[in-house]
Chain A
Amino acid sequence: MGSTLAEKVWNEHLVRRGSGDEPDLLYIDLHLVHEVTSPQAFEGLRLAGREVRRPDLTLATEDHNVPTEGVELPIADPVSRTQVDTLRKNCAEFGIRLHSMGDTEQGIVHVVGPQLGLTQPGTTVVCGDSHTSTHGAFGALAFGIGTSEVEHVLATQTLPLRPFRTMAVNVEGTLRPGVTSKDVILAVIARIGTGGGQGYVLEYRGSAVESMSMEARMTMCNMSIEAGARAGMIAPDETTFEYLRGRPHAPGGADWDAAVEYWKSLRTDPDAEYDAEVTIDADELTPFVTWGTNPGQGAPLGERVPDPEFVADEEQRAATEKALEYMGLTAGTPLREVAVDTVFLGSCTNGRIEDLRSAAEILRGHRVSPDVRMLVVPGSMRVRQQAEREGLDEVFTAAGAEWRSAGCSMCLGMNPDQLTPGERAASTSNRNFEGRQGKGGRTHLVSPVVAAATAVRGTLSSPEDL
Chain B
Amino acid sequence: MEPFTTHTGIGVPLRRSNVDTDQIIPAVYLKRVARTGFEDALFAAWRSDENFVLNIEPFNRGSVLVAGPDFGTGSSREHAVWALKDYGFRVIISSRFADIFRGNAGKQGLLAARCEQSDVELLWKLLETEPGTRITVDLNARTVRAKDLTVGFEVDEYTRWRLLEGLDDIGLTMRAEEAIDSFERCRPGFLPRTLPSPAG
**Residues of A bordering B, CB below 8 Å:** 15-16, 21-23, 25, 27, 29-30, 36-37, 39-40, 43-44, 48, 50, 55-59, 64-65, 77, 79-80, 82-83, 86, 95, 97, 104-105, 117-118, 120, 123, 128-130, 144-149, 151-152, 155-158, 160, 162, 194-195, 198-199, 225-226, 228, 230, 248-251, 255-256, 258-259, 262, 294, 315, 318-319, 322, 412-414, 431, 433-436, 439-440
- The answer to whether B100 and A144 have CB atoms under 8 Å apart is yes
Interchain pairs with CB closer than 8 A, number:
210
Partner pick for A37 among B17, B77, B189, CB 8 A cutoff: B77
- A-side contacts of B33, CB under 8 Å: 39-40, 43, 82-83, 86
| The residue from A21, A57, A199 contacting B193, defined by CB atoms under 8 A apart | A57
Q: Which of B124-132, B134-142, B146-154, B175-183 contacts A (4 or more CB under 8 A)?
A: B175-183
Residues of A within 8 A of B23 (CB): 433-435
Let me know if B99 and A230 touch, CB within 8 A.
yes
Question: How far is it, in angstroms, between the C-alpha of A65 and the C-alpha of B75 when the chains are bound?
Answer: 15
Instruction: Indicate if the CB atoms of A248 and B28 lie closer than 8 Å.
Output: no
- Asked whether A315 lies within 8 Å of B45 as measured between CB atoms, the reply is no
Give the chain A neighbours of B189 by CB distance below 8 A: 255
Contact of B180 among A117, A129, A156, A315 (CB under 8 A): A156
Complex Cα–Cα for A434 and B78 (A): 19
What residues on B are CB-neighbors of A58 within 8 Å?
194
Q: Assuming the A-B contacts A148-B78, A194-B18, are A228 and B31 also in contact, with contact meaning beta carbons closer than 8 angstroms in the complex? A: no
Residues of B contacting A440 in the complex (Cβ-Cβ under 8 angstroms): 45
Ordered nearest first, which 5 A-B pairs have the shortest CB separation?
A146-B104, A146-B78, A39-B33, A21-B157, A148-B107
Inside 8 A of B104's CB, which chain A residues have their CB? 146-149
Establish whether residues A123 and B191, one from each chain, have CB atoms under 8 Å apart when the complex forms. yes
Q: In whole Å, how far is B35's beta carbon from the nearest beta carbon of chain A?
A: 4
> Are A294's CB and B73's CB within 8 A?
yes
| Neighbour of B194 across the interface among A59, A128, A145, A255, CB < 8 A | A59
Task: Select B192's contact among A117, A128, A147, beta carbons within 8 Å.
Answer: A117
Please tell me if the beta carbons of B76 and A129 are within 8 angstroms of each other in the complex: yes
Interface residues in B154-190 by Cβ distance below 8 A to A read 156-158, 161, 169-170, 172-174, 176-177, 179-180, 183-184, 187-190
Cβ-defined contact, A160 with B172, below 8 A: yes
Complex alpha-carbon distance, A97 and B200, angstroms:
10
Residues of chain A within 8 A of B188, CB atoms compared: 258-259, 262
**11 A-B contacts (beta carbon < 8 Å):** A27-B183, A36-B31, A56-B193, A82-B33, A95-B195, A120-B191, A151-B170, A162-B156, A199-B99, A294-B73, A435-B22
Given known contacts A118-B192, A315-B17, A148 and B28 CB-to-CB distance under 8 angstroms: no
How far, in Å, is A444 (CB) from chain B's closest CB? Answer: 16
- Check B73–A228 contact: CB distance below 8 A: yes
CA distance A149 to B125 in the complex (A): 37
Contact of B174 among A65, A151, A156 (CB under 8 A): A156
> What distance in Å separates the Cβ of B105 from its nearest Cβ neighbour in chain A?
9
- CB pair A128–B76 under 8 Å, yes or no, is yes
- State whether A414 touches B34 (Cβ < 8 A): no
* B191 and A198 form a contact (CB under 8 A): no
User: Is B31 in contact with A79, judged by CB distance below 8 angstroms?
Assistant: yes
- Give the distance in Å from the alpha carbon of A124 to the alpha carbon of B120 in the complex: 37
- With contact pairs A104-B199, A199-B99, A439-B26 given, residues A259 and B190 touching in the complex (Cβ less than 8 Å): yes
B99 partner residues in chain A, CB cutoff 8 A: 198-199, 228, 230
Known: A147-B104, A195-B70, A436-B27. 16 other contacts (CB 8 A): A30-B192, A57-B194, A77-B31, A95-B195, A117-B192, A123-B192, A144-B76, A144-B100, A145-B103, A146-B103, A149-B107, A151-B170, A157-B184, A248-B198, A249-B192, A433-B23
A413 vs B29: C-alpha distance in the bound complex, in angstroms?
11
Whether the Cβ atoms of A146 and B31 lie closer than 8 Å is: no
State whether B179 touches A413 (Cβ < 8 A). Answer: no
Q: Is B118 an interface residue (CB 8 A)?
A: no
Partner of B30, one of A82, A319, A414: A414
CB distance from A191 to the nearest CB of B (A): 16
Contact status B195-A152, CB under 8 Å:
no
> For the complex, is B88 an interface residue (Cβ under 8 Å from A)?
no
Contact: A21 with B195, CB < 8 Å?
Answer: no
Q: Chain B contacts of A433 at CB under 8 A?
A: 20, 22-23, 74
Q: Determine the chain A residues whose CB is within 8 A of the CB of B98 once the complex forms.
A: 195, 198, 228
A221 to B180, CA, bound (A): 29
Question: Chain B's nearest CB lies how many Å from the CB of A11?
Answer: 13
List the A side residues contacting B172 at CB < 8 Å: 160
Chain A's nearest CB lies how many Å from the CB of B4?
16
Cβ-defined partner of A146 (8 Å) among B107, B183, B190: B107
Q: When the two chains form their complex, are residues A194 and B179 in contact, meaning their CB atoms are under 8 A apart? A: no
> Looking at the complex, which one of A21, A79, A145 makes contact with B100 (CB distance below 8 Å)?
A145
Would you call B183 and A21 a contact (CB within 8 A)?
Answer: no
Nearest CB of chain B from residue A89's CB, rounded to whole Å: 10
- Residues in B with CB closer than 8 Å to A157 are 180, 184
Residues of chain B within 8 A of A50, CB atoms compared: 170
B75 contacts across to A, CB distance below 8 A: 129-130, 412, 431
The answer for the CA separation of A160 and B161 in the assembled complex, in Å, is 14
State the CA gap A57–B100 with chains docked (Å).
Answer: 23
